Amino acid sequence: MSAQERKTADISVTLSGLRLDNPIIPASGTFGFGEEFAQLYDINVLGSFSFKGTTREKRFGNPTPRIAECEGGMLNSVGLANPGIDEVIGEELPALRKIFKKPVVANISGFSIDEYVYNCEKIDKEDQVGIIEVNISCPNVHDGGMAFGTSPESAAAVTKAVKAVTTKPVYMKLSPNVTDIAAIAKACEEAGADGVSLINTLMGMRIDIKTGRHILANKTGGMSGPCIFPLAVRMVYQVYEAVKIPIIGMGGVSSARDVIELMYAGATAVQVGAANLVDPYVCPKIIEELPKLCAELGIEKLTDIIGKAHNN
């Protein structure tokens, strides 16, 4: 074994001053508030995690059925089912403190700029929240979510409004269901965003050929899974060219190799979404595999490869 192979790679990363032991962050909507996964393994091995998308009022979400399989992934139209901001702060976060000792990513959604502002101002006061991830890209709700992330002007308006009432880093979660995601990322940066997260799910549909009916009650849903990974790589690459703020990359990530690839494209950290629903141990497996893969590729420090594909 060579000296290079014996040396353990530094896989820590930093997001807006927040140091993570590794770049792996389970994505919002695939990890709940951590409790179920904490019964399977010590979730403190994670860099952080993004908790369930939170709105001002409690939401049941969309009608069922709201999950449909597709080759290479899945469609969901869960529709931001969550207990509401007050219960998250009053019950979920105190329970979370008992099982997770690191700063968490708070995923915040809204149906108006006022609601985004209200939720962000409240969650900003919580000590365990390290980053506020503002979801302007959910394709599964009406009159909100993605509506704010489809133009630079509306994305900037939300960014500016929530930055005015927060002290913690704000990362805007962007939609791939647009013509120019880089322009929207740039608008968020100019409005004060500390970082961006991308990509959220792509709009999709399935139809039962026996009945001719939509499989999802909502008709359309967000497509995720390995089938969208090349799109995520392309969009992270494009956004890295457009902005100077950090990028949290996501979209079909299921292996350590995917993490390395997204970081080459420009991601500083990487979220793992649908893969958690296939294999609940996928994140600790990736974290264990990363140093080995770094040794194989001759990477001594993971942060050295961020955006490196732009130099080739």
Superfamily the domain 3-311 falls into: Aldolase class I (3.20.20.70)
pTM: 0.95
What is the DSSP code string of 229-264? HHHHHHHHHHHHHH-SS-EEE-SS--SHHHHHHHHH
Q: What is the pLDDT along the chain (312 residues), one digit of tens a residue?
A: 344 445 799 999 999 999 999 999 999 999 999 999 999 999 999 999 999 999 999 999 899 999 999 999 999 998 889 999 999 999 999 999 999 999 999 999 999 999 999 999 999 999 999 999 999 976 545 455 557 888 999 999 999 999 999 999 999 999 999 999 999 999 999 999 999 999 999 999 999 999 999 999 999 999 999 999 999 999 999 999 999 999 999 999 999 999 999 999 999 999 999 999 999 999 999 999 999 999 999 999 999 999 999 988
pLDDT of res. 3: 46
User: Between the CA atoms of 117, 168, 224 and 186, what dihedral angle is there, to the nearest 10 degrees?
Assistant: 80
The one catalytic residue among 120, 138, 188, 294: 138
Tokens of 181: 């995601």
Q: For residue 220, what is the enclosing H or E element?
A: strand 220-224
The verdict on whether 70 is a catalytic residue reads no
DSSP string for 127-174 = TTEEEEEEE---TTSSSSGGGGGSSHHHHHHHHHHHHTT--S-EEEEP
Number of residues assigned to the chain: 312
Report residue 226 CA to chain centroid gap: 15
Cα separation of 300 and 7, whole Å? Answer: 8
